Amino acid sequence: MKTILLKNRPTGTPQTSDFEFTDSEKPSPKDGEILLKTKYVSVDPYMRGRMRDEKSYVEPFKLNEPITTAIVAEVVESSHEKFAKGDYLTGMLPWKEFSTSDGKGLRKVDKEQVPLSANLGILGLTGLTAYFGLLEIGEPKKGETVLVSGAAGAVGSIVGQIAKLKGCKVIGIAGTDEKITMLKEKFSFDAGINYDTTDDLSAAIKEAAPDGIDVYYDNVGSYTLDAAMENINRMGRVVNCGAISLYNETEQPTGPRLETTLVKKSVKMQGFIVSNYQEKFPEGIKQLGEWLKDGKLKYEETVVEGFDNIPQAFIDLFEGKNKGKMVVKVY
Amino acid sequence: MKTILLKNRPTGTPQTSDFEFTDSEKPSPKDGEILLKTKYVSVDPYMRGRMRDEKSYVEPFKLNEPITTAIVAEVVESSHEKFAKGDYLTGMLPWKEFSTSDGKGLRKVDKEQVPLSANLGILGLTGLTAYFGLLEIGEPKKGETVLVSGAAGAVGSIVGQIAKLKGCKVIGIAGTDEKITMLKEKFSFDAGINYDTTDDLSAAIKEAAPDGIDVYYDNVGSYTLDAAMENINRMGRVVNCGAISLYNETEQPTGPRLETTLVKKSVKMQGFIVSNYQEKFPEGIKQLGEWLKDGKLKYEETVVEGFDNIPQAFIDLFEGKNKGKMVVKVY
């Protein structure tokens, strides 16, 4: 069976040559352990940060060791008291076709309620990232205007829909006309801006939101953030969820200083990771599940097939090749 | 009697030639009005922003009209029902030796409790700016490390003392050794950094705060903010009170992008103006007054004498010529 290791710490955009495939015997679970067969693998932009050898909110990946990421796997053997053969579990697991586990950090998923892959997306950390970032930091109020970048991505598309559920006007920024159409038609965004065909992003935001932006949910950073800040209202809130445009930078990126805008307009900018809200996860999963069941939330997935394609699926995130959540279906 | 008008909108550092003195008759109060004799005039860095012709949280000053600022004045004539001759009042008033008012927005000050000028400082908007910015945005917890820039200034020196009262370790950044001595000896700061004699501000902060910074109260912006951000802890909070180093810039200043730090470390940066907390002012004044009475808060003033010296006192703020609150004593 195959395992994918981190071979090199990427410089700039990751390459498939930064990963190494190895072959080994299928492992045997010890007493009390389970044997898991990998079904769906999540690839996410934040993983780029873990490929650097620097202190961050999670430990960096180790060289020559398997990458770990959110995975849905099937229990194929079990002597674990809580998990039985045929169960589907999710949690952080290695990029291996099969792996063993003592079950710690894994939870059972309901294979009837939603498609398995949704546990990596809307009912997984992706949905929770959208939910807590928007509601706890963005604090959107009815009638306010919410701008989302990376709006056609996994997190952004959920953020926009939750903001609509809260009674806000929602504007999304994405990189193709097809994505913009999807934002408006599938996800009920009020307006969309294709940054790739827009000369002046700040002016385009102003046109879409003549009364300014109250909440900006940022997945992108850099000049997209600058353009949003030029349109931010007094008492505005910026949710710094990600900065995908900067993750592959090799030099310290520079840009306009934002502190005078923060002071002049009493603006808050706040970064977070979803695990800050771990204690509230059950509440979030419950609410997202209800909205999903009631047809109030929709989601989009880009499903890549085949274990061998995991590294390329990850790399494609940085070119925006995904619509919605990018997952790899292994079997 | 003399009046000071804004003659030109300054480019870069304000000059005395940006102000104009005019002479006129002493005004006569109408029925129900009061005649006020200006005693103390507050000059503050934020006023630089009002000299630009751009939208901000307060209206810009108008050309060829008197500057208005916080003032303590004596009632010398009154037919107002609430204010009597001999009362001392404070509020936003014009740079005039005498002015008339209907009393709106003015409040009586207790001339026995503290020196008159303290109503422009520790018991005025200055003290409230320190109090609400630190407590509402910075949320310092016992045992945390608080860094303050502009620490020897009016706001910074109060911020540091309140942080000490909350059980924090407090480090101040200021621009002369004399100020650093004052921070430690008069205001009980744990450590001080003279930015003017320090080659590597970030390294100096690291040396003073090896466990990192939990709360950074920023009055300065620019590279001082950058150095603080390099030392900020996970879940750190940055209080963006001011950015005096940028107020005289004529070009859009640039610097390292901060969004990746915000995301990686779940950091909050939040700007504010004190009037956001207007409803809580009585609470703040009461608490500051009690601490002052109990000897738990000290303050420093730089008193410049003479109405003619108001513009120069304002300009001197940008060279850090003040220790603590800069006020002009008129009579």
Do B57 and A234 lie within an 8 Å CB cutoff? yes
- Using CB atoms, which residue from B246, B256, B272 is nearest to A252? B256
pTM of the model: 0.90
Task: Specify the fold of A2-121+300-329.
Answer: Quinone Oxidoreductase; Chain A, domain 1 (3.90.180)
How does pLDDT run along chain B (331 residues), one tens digit per residue?
999 999 999 999 999 999 999 999 999 999 999 999 999 999 998 899 899 988 766 789 999 999 999 999 999 999 999 999 999 999 999 999 999 999 998 989 988 878 999 999 999 999 999 999 999 999 999 999 999 999 999 999 999 999 999 999 999 999 999 999 999 999 999 999 999 999 999 999 999 999 999 999 999 999 999 999 999 999 999 999 998 888 778 888 999 999 999 999 999 999 999 999 999 998 999 999 999 989 999 999 999 999 999 999 999 999 989 888 999 999 8
CA distance A146 to A124: 23
Q: What pLDDT, on a 0 to 100 scale, did the predictor assign at position A227?
A: 98
pLDDT tens digit sequence for A95-132: 999 999 999 989 999 888 789 999 999 999 999 999 99
CA distances (Å), origin A78, targets A37, A85, A93: 12, 6, 17
Q: What mean pLDDT do residues A14-34 have?
A: 96
CATH of A125-275, one of 1.10.1280.10, 3.40.50.970, 3.90.180.10, 3.40.50.720: 3.40.50.720
Which residues make beta-bridge pairs with B35? B77, B100
CA distance A85 to B272: 57
The torsion angle over the Cα atoms of residues B147, B149, B151 and B153, rounded to 10 degrees, is: -150
Q: How far is A307 from chain B (nearest CA, A)?
A: 29
Stated as kind and residue range, the H or E segment containing B34 is strand B34-42
Which of B139, B231, B260, B273 would best serve as a mutation to test chain A binding (most A beta carbons within 10 A)? B260
CA distance A1 to B20: 84
ipTM of the complex: 0.88
User: In which residue are the tokens 């949704």 written?
Assistant: A118
* CATH 3.90.180.10 placement within chain B: 2-121+299-329
Closest B-chain CA to A267: B271
- Using CB atoms, which residue from B218, B257, B271 is nearest to A255? B257
CA distance B60 to B216: 29
Do B266 and A272 lie within an 8 Å CB cutoff? yes
* CATH 3.40.50.720 placement within chain A: 125-275
Q: What pLDDT, on a 0 to 100 scale, did the predictor assign at position A56?
A: 66
Q: How far is A57 from chain B (nearest CA, A)?
A: 6
Q: What pLDDT, on a 0 to 100 scale, did the predictor assign at position B112?
A: 83
- Using CB atoms, which residue from B234, B260, B269 is nearest to A262? B269
Please tell me the total number of residues recorded for chain A in this structure: 331
Contacts of B317 (CB under 8 A, 6+ apart): B43, B44, B45, B244, B326
Angle subtended by helix axes A222-229 and A201-208, to nearest 10: 50
CA distance A188 to A171: 10
Backbone dihedral angles phi then psi of residue B172, each to the nearest 5 degrees: -115, 145
Token readout for A3 is 């395992």
Q: What pLDDT, on a 0 to 100 scale, did the predictor assign at position A34?
A: 97
Q: How far is B265 from chain A (nearest CA, A)?
A: 6
Q: How far is A251 from chain B (nearest CA, A)?
A: 10
Contacts of A258 in chain B (CB under 8 A): 258
CA distance A264 to B272: 7
pLDDT at A178 over 70: yes
Closest B-chain CA to A55: B264
Contacts of B102 (CB under 8 A, 6+ apart): B32, B33, B34, B80
CA distance B67 to B117: 19
Closest B-chain CA to A273: B266
Token readout for A80 is 């674990």
pLDDT tens digit sequence for A242-251: 988 887 788 8
Q: What pLDDT, on a 0 to 100 scale, did the predictor assign at position B57?
A: 65
* CATH 3.90.180.10 placement within chain A: 2-121+300-329
Task: Specify the fold of B2-121+299-329.
Answer: Quinone Oxidoreductase; Chain A, domain 1 (3.90.180)
Token readout for B111 is 């001339």
